[in-house]
């Protein structure tokens, strides 16, 4: 059983040690993410604590294959957005420094943009790399020659002394396997 699956299973059985594991494993990364946007250390810490608490509160709704870090990052992102939105939409909220108001507005825009999420993108790349690495050796070799060395199916067939149909089969199988492994992301 993988680490995340074990923690989720433990949390679903109300094991509070699993909650401690989540804090130990993810707090610093989540805090580093939050502080980039809200700037204030106490607010960033509070956001991360709230995020982990919400994660715990919704533990019975989690899927067994939940990616804990991705799930928590989404909660942290949303709470950061909520915090920054207070300053964006409410002219009554006093910020003494126009520069900080501008930084908050830019940070809100960055977080609100769904296409930008560097930590999730990095994690996604790790998942894809692990998925490729877990392919059977011949299948992985064919896939890497196709995708990373940009060889045609005929070139791969010639290089590996296999038929073009076999190359096509390996590529199809590799893509299917990778899609399956990344589907939860």
Measured CA distances, 49 to 31, 76, 155 (Å): 9, 9, 54
Domain membership flag for residue 57: yes
Domain end position, chosen among 114, 148, 172: 114
Does 134 lie in the same domain as 109? no
Last residue of a domain, one of 114, 136, 152: 114
**Per-position b or e across 122-141, b if 16+ CB within 10 A of its CB:** ebeeebeeebbeebeeebbb
Do both 106 and 133 map to the same domain? no
Report if residue 109 sits inside a domain: yes
Residues 108 and 136 grouped into a single domain? no
Give whichever of 23-32, 42-51, 138-147, 173-182 has the largest mean pLDDT: 42-51
Q: What is the mean pLDDT of the chain?
A: 81
Angstrom distances, CA of residue 138 to CA of 13, 80, 150, 157, 158:
41, 45, 17, 12, 14
Reply yes or no on whether the pLDDT at 112 is more than 70.
no
Please state, in angstroms and rounded to a whole number, the distance separating the CA atoms of residues 58 and 78: 16
**Domains of the chain: total:** 2
| 144 has pLDDT over 90 | no
Domain match, 58 and 25 both: yes
Q: Is the pLDDT of residue 125 over 90?
A: no
Residue 49 has pLDDT above 80, yes or no: yes
**Given this model, what pLDDT does residue 121 score?**
58
pLDDT in the model for residue 74: 86
The most distant pair of C-alpha atoms in the chain lies apart, rounded to whole Å, by 72
Domain edge (last residue) among 93, 114, 135: 114
Q: Are residues 15 and 106 in the same domain?
A: yes
Residue 155 to residue 28: CA distance in whole angstroms: 47
CATH code where residue 147 lies: 1.10.10.10
What's this model's pTM, rounded to 2 decimal places?
0.56
Is 119 a member of any domain?
no
d(CA 33, CA 60): 26
Same-domain status, 101 and 137: no
Q: Judge if 33 and 103 occupy the same domain.
A: yes
CATH number of 74's domain: 1.10.1740
Q: Are 37 and 106 in contact (CB under 8 A)?
A: no
Same domain as 37, residue 56? yes
User: Range of 174's domain?
Assistant: 125-182
- Residue 148 has what DSSP assignment? T
């Amino acid at each position: 059983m993988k680490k995340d699956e074990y923690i989720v299973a433990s949390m679903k059985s109300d094991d509070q040690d699993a909650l401690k594991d989540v804090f130990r494993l993810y707090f610093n990364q989540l805090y580093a993410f939050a502080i980039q946007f809200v700037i204030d250390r106490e607010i960033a810490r509070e956001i991360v604590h709230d995020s982990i608490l919400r994660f715990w509160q919704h533990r019975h709704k989690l899927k067994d294959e939940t990616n804990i870090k991705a799930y928590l990052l989404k909660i942290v992102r949303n709470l950061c957005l909520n915090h920054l939105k207070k300053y964006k939409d409410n002219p009554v909220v006093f910020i003494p420094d126009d520069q900080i108001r501008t930084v908050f507005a830019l940070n809100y825009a960055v977080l609100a943009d769904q296409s930008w999420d560097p930590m999730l993108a990095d994690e996604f790349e790790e998942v894809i790399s692990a998925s490729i690495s877990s392919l059977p050796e011949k299948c992985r070799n064919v896939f890497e020659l196709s995708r990373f060395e940009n060889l045609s199916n005929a070139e791969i067939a010639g290089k590996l002394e296999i038929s073009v149909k076999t190359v096509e089969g390996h590529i199809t199988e590799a893509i299917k396997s990778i899609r399956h492994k990344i589907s939860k992301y």
